Structures are given as structure tokens and as C-alpha cells.
Structure 1
Amino acid sequence: MAEVQFRRYREEDHEEVKEVFTVGMSEHIPPSCMHVLKQPLAQMILGCVFCALLTSSKSILLPVLAVTLLLAAGRQAVSYMFTKYIQTCLDQDLSHIQQTYLDPPNACFWVAEIQGRVVGTVACLPAEKDGNFLELKRMSVKKSHRGQGIAKALCRMVADFTRERGYLGVMLHTSVVQIDAQKLYEHMGYQKVSEFNAPDVIAKLTNFTLIEYQFIIKHHHN
């Protein structure tokens, strides 16, 4: 297996970093669609539409068609929610990585590189919510390179950086559909502190919750 190198972000990594983030985020669309389908509200709407049309039209074709269209519309809505989020991130911090993560003293952006290609990213900056914490952001590892300990190593880099800077701990947000991410963070010692609905209207309707995790740094006193 090729050697993984971890280093600070450089300007020439920009396109690859954006690609790793965009592809990684897009992967959450199918599980998010499944999440929506499991919601009682979605099941009730589909069931009511199907039964109402079946009763009124006396044909199976129309209700099946209507439900299919509703499912397609639902997928479009979920895709739209993710596309909008991806675009917002690309327009905001991911267009200004140097200014956001490398110029300030208590922020940083790292990449994992294999044979000159960026295969993973992670960043951190002071948490807006609590000045004692750094917030872990932009954690993503290419699907082809998962299961090799890259995400764990990136997590440790953030923890070490947080310890060096004297912060109390690391906090982060992940979503209800990012099961692998939740497992990773819990394995790394993060504790779930709260769950709340994403601010988007579609998210509220579909019960798309975000989860906040915290990791308290153990400082070694001499």
C-alpha cells in the first residue's frame, strides 16, 4: 500500500480538496432519501395519495404513477438540499482556505496525500458557539481510501493541534445519515451532546437531524 503523507494545505491542492468534499457530500444523498422514506409523515402522504387515487380512479396505474412521481420529487428535494449546502461551502470557506484556516493562529487545514493526490481532508477553527473549543470541519476521505486509518489519523491531528493551542476540546457536527462518521467519532472518544433539526425547510419536514459531538482534551501537566 502506498505511503500516506499528512501535511498542511497548499494552494495547489485547491481543486482536489473541492472534489474530495463535493463527492463525499454527494454520497449522503441516497441514504438521506432512505431516511426520508422511513419518516411517518412521508409514509402517510404516500399512503393517502395512493389510496385516494386508487379509490377515485379504479385503476392501479394512476396511483402507482403518482407515488413514483412523488418519490422522484422527494429525491430531487433531497438532492437540492445537498447541492445547495455543497455550493454554500464551496462559496464560503472552501474558496478561501488560506484566509479561513491558515492565516488565523488557532485554525488549520490538513490534507492526506498518496502519490501526489489528495485523498483526505480535515480542518479546524475556533468554535463560534464556545470559545473553549475548536470545531472540526471538512473531514472527508475518498471512498477508495477508506478503512486505512486515514480518518482516524486526521482526527488525531486535530486533537493534537487543539491540545497544543491549550483549548478545552474539539466539537463537531454530523448528520443523522452519516452513520460511518458517527461510529468513527465515537470510536475516537467523542461524546454526543445534542441533536437538533437542520435549519433548512426540507430538513425540518423530513426530520433530518444534526448531531453535535464533543471531545474533551486531556492535558498532560508536568
Structure 2
Amino acid sequence: MVTYHIREYRAEDYETVRDLFATGMSEYVPTLCVHMLKQPWLVLVLACTFCLLLTSSKSLLLPILAVTLLLATGRQLLGYIWSMYIDHCLKEDLLDIQATYQSNKGSGFWVAEVDDSVVATVGARPSEEHQEELMLKRMSVRKDYRGFGIAKALCRTVISFARERGYRSVVLNTLMVQHEARAMYEDVGFSMYHRYILPTIYGRLANCTVSKYRYDIPSVD
């Protein structure tokens, strides 16, 4: 077991928090590649390319090399697009964590420490859709500290915060590649209530599905 301590974010945690988020999100690139290889249109493109080159060249080597090159190029392109998304997040709410999450009593940001080292993070701020909802964001746990219940403890910290501040529910979004995260949230008590594909060209091509989860807080009579 690991002994950890959850506390509020401090200014000196800034670089560690950003590194934790960026590193954790970068780990999804291989899963994203597998997800893309399951898309029918991509399988069709690769199959057609292979068959056309095989027919025209009468050689097995050329189509194999061509498909391999396409896969390698696609891997690099996906990595680049994903890094752009990570960079966007770092320039958004994670650019000034104190201003975004600690400037009012309705939001907050917490870290989990092990031996005085920050190993996990989570943030929460009011939902833009409903004032009575608190949105859980930026959950990230260092890879070597997963499986010890730290993420669940951070979730419960946010839920307790929401209850104390009078919110009626905690909501969050997950992407289709975050399988372990969805399982963890469901174990805590979150339920999926909506799912949609990102309405962008990249979102449709990649079948980029966002699942929305909610944890309802019982009202106290």
C-alpha cells in the first residue's frame, strides 16, 4: 500500500501539475492509434491501397512498404494532433491554475502527495451548462502510483467539496480512449448520461466519442 495525502494546490506545484497532465495524456497515443485502426473507412483505404499497388506492380513488397509507410505517417500525424490538444489545455485552464480554480469558493484544485512529491491532481469548477453542477476536470495520476485508490480518493474529495458548496451533482467528460478512467468513475458511483461525437472534421473522422458522466448528490431535507 501507498500512504498519500490530499491537499489543496499551491503555487509551487505549478510545473509538476502541468507535467503530470501532459505525461498522462501522452500515454493515450497508442490506444488512439488502435482506435483509429478499427475505423472502417481507414481499413478500406489501406486495403484499396494494398490491392491497387499489388495489381499494378505485381510485387508483394511494394504494397507492404506503402501500407507500412502510411501507418507510420498516420502514427506521427495522430501524435502531432494529440500534442496540439494537450498544448491547448496547458494554455487554457492550466495556464493559471490559481486564477481558474482558486479565485472563488465555488471551484478548487487538489493534489495528492506521496513522500512530499505530487503524484496526482484533480480540479473542479462550476459547469458552463448548469449552475448547480460542478465539473470535475484534469484528473491525472502518475503511472507508477495507479491502482492504489488515489484517483477514487480525489473523486470523493471533489464530491465532498460539491456537497459542502451546495451543488446538486458532479459531472465530467471522458474520451473513448479512457477505458480505465471510465471504469474508475463508475466504481465511485458516476453514471453515464450522454454520449456524442465531436462535431469537427477530426472528430468525425476519428469517431471521437465523448461520454458525459454524472454523480447526483442527495438533497438534505
- Which TM bucket (shorter chain)? over 0.9
1:210 alignment partner in structure 2: 210
Q: Secondary structure, in 3 states, of the residue corresponding to 1:129?
A: coil
Distance 1:90 1:96 in 2: 9
Q: CA deviation at 1:85?
A: 1.0
> Is 1:149 aligned with 2:149?
yes
Q: Deviations over 1:103-142 (max 9, x none)?
A: 1220000000111111000000000112120100000100
Distance 1:76 1:174 in 2: 23
1:7 alignment partner in structure 2: 7
Counterpart amino acid of residue 114 in structure 2: I
Alignment size in residue pairs: 221
Gaps of 5+ in 1: none
Distance 1:190 1:59 in 2: 54
Distance 2:111 2:60 in 1: 54
CA shift in 2, pair 1:20/1:199, >3 Å: farther
Q: CA deviation at 1:2?
A: 4.8
Q: Deviations over 1:77-110 (max 9, x none)?
A: 2212210111011111111000000012200000
Distance 1:178 1:125 in 2: 21
Q: Which structure 2 residues correspond to residues 37-76 of structure 1 after superposition, within 5 A?
A: 37-76=37-76
Percent identity between matched residues is: 48
Q: Which structure 2 residues correspond to residues 126-165 of structure 1 after superposition, within 5 A?
A: 126-165=126-165
Indicate conservation of the 8 Å contact 2:2/2:148, yes or no. Answer: no
Distance 1:203 1:62 in 2: 32
2:29 alignment partner in structure 1: 29
1:192 alignment partner in structure 2: 192
Q: Deviations over 1:12-60 (max 9, x none)?
A: 0011101110110001000010000011111111111100111111111
Counterpart amino acid of residue 125 in structure 1: R
Q: CA deviation at 1:168?
A: 1.0
Indicate conservation of the 8 Å contact 1:78/1:202, yes or no. Answer: no
Runs of 4+ in 1 over 3 A off after TM superposition: none
Distance 1:44 1:206 in 2: 14
Counterpart amino acid of residue 103 in structure 1: S
Indicate conservation of the 8 Å contact 1:135/1:172, yes or no. Answer: yes
Distance 2:80 2:24 in 1: 16
Q: Secondary structure, in 3 states, of the residue corresponding to 1:66?
A: helix
Distance 2:130 2:69 in 1: 44
Q: Deviations over 1:159-188 (max 9, x none)?
A: 001111111101100011110001011111
Q: Secondary structure, in 3 states, of the residue corresponding to 2:47?
A: helix
Q: Which structure 2 residues correspond to residues 97-136 of structure 1 after superposition, within 5 A?
A: 97-136=97-136
1:93 alignment partner in structure 2: 93
Counterpart amino acid of residue 178 in structure 1: Q
Q: Secondary structure, in 3 states, of the residue corresponding to 1:161?
A: helix
Indicate conservation of the 8 Å contact 1:190/1:213, yes or no. Answer: yes
1:170 alignment partner in structure 2: 170
Distance 2:69 2:195 in 1: 32
Counterpart amino acid of residue 121 in structure 1: T
Distance 1:198 1:29 in 2: 18
Q: Secondary structure, in 3 states, of the residue corresponding to 1:147?
A: coil
Distance 1:178 1:168 in 2: 25
1:79 alignment partner in structure 2: 79
Indicate conservation of the 8 Å contact 1:2/1:115, yes or no. Answer: no
